[in-house]
Amino acid sequence: MTHDWHRTPAFHPTPYGAMAALVAGFLVAPISNAVAQEADPVADSLVGLWIDSVGGMPTFEALRSAQFTVTTLLYDTSTSRLKRARPRYVWLAKGSFGEATRVERWEGNDFIVQGFDGRDSIWAVMNGEWLADSTKDAREALYVARDLFYWIGLPFKLRDPGVYLKYLGLRQRPGMAWSREGVEHRTSDGSYHAVAVSFGAGVGEHQDVFTYYFAPGSGFPLEVTYVEEGRENINRLLWGPTARVGDPAFPYVTRRDFITASGKRTKALVIEDVTVNEVVRPERFERP
């Protein structure tokens, strides 16, 4: 599977009316011109509309810290029953030191803590004892830290350096056939604006490729598909409602459901108990 991504330059907001004109122009323009352009104004404007819908970039710039619980719900696909719930308790902070993270969870009788100080200290502890760098929890500590910051930071993180955006045109949304959404969210032929998101070398721990599906006129995606690095199977996520907390109000997606091609739910990520911009001491992110 090959892709032709190109990097999006610094964001310049585009009103939705102008964005719609860009979409129309893109769809009738010769393909050679679309490939040759250095920027992708349609993808940029769709993401910009999403960012504007949740308060604009100043909203993320005002975020200094966050605390929340993210619970992974695992489902049995044959019965749709909940099999397991695994909560993780998360602290995030950002500043001149970078983006720091601490994650606490229980696995059976074992209490596991993973941390990253935003600079160079990556660590994991189980039941108060250091875990060797070769252990799974220690190896995954940095990935977990960046992954949690990425998800709570959407859509703003799509403006990070090294994030590539590409408009794929109007497409059928994979989950549309079985979802219960109202027809008011669809175009007349059931198509959605599709925006591909990928990452440059050295950005993130994995080179996964995401596609966001937006209903025309909507500032929020309804579904996201992604292909993991080195694989070809498509994973699907249904985007839940956006809530807001704090002053200025910081937005976050309350739930994301992972689904199969036939619409069966395999797991969900639920974010709750969110507080922002409370004082978090740096020691929380350092090695105990």
**Which pLDDT band holds residue 114 (cuts at 50, 70, 90)?**
very high
The 10s digit of each residue's pLDDT in 134-172 is: 999 999 999 999 889 988 999 999 998 889 999 999 988
pLDDT at 18 over 60: no
Distances from the Cα of 56 to the Cα of 67, 139, 159, 243, angstroms: 21, 35, 11, 15
Structural domains in the chain, CATH included, are 16-285 (2.50.20.10)
pLDDT for 97 equals 81
The 10s digit of each residue's pLDDT in 252-264 is: 999 999 988 778 8
Alpha-carbon 110 to chain mean position = 29
DSSP 207: -
The 10s digit of each residue's pLDDT in 193-207 is: 999 998 877 665 556
pLDDT at 36 over 50: no
Tell me the mean pLDDT in the region 242-256: 94
pLDDT for 216 equals 86
* pTM for this entry: 0.79
214 membership: H or E segment, kind and range: strand 209-214
Nearest alpha carbon to residue 176 among 195, 192, 188, 194: 192
- Cis ω for the linkage preceding 216 (within 30 of 0): no
pLDDT for 287 equals 84
The 10s digit of each residue's pLDDT in 130-143 is: 999 999 999 999 99
User: How much is the CA Rg of the chain, to the nearest whole Å?
Assistant: 20
pLDDT for 187 equals 47
Buried b (16+ CB within 10 A) or exposed e, 249-273: ebbbbebbbbbeeeeebebbbbbee
pLDDT for 202 equals 65
pLDDT for 25 equals 41
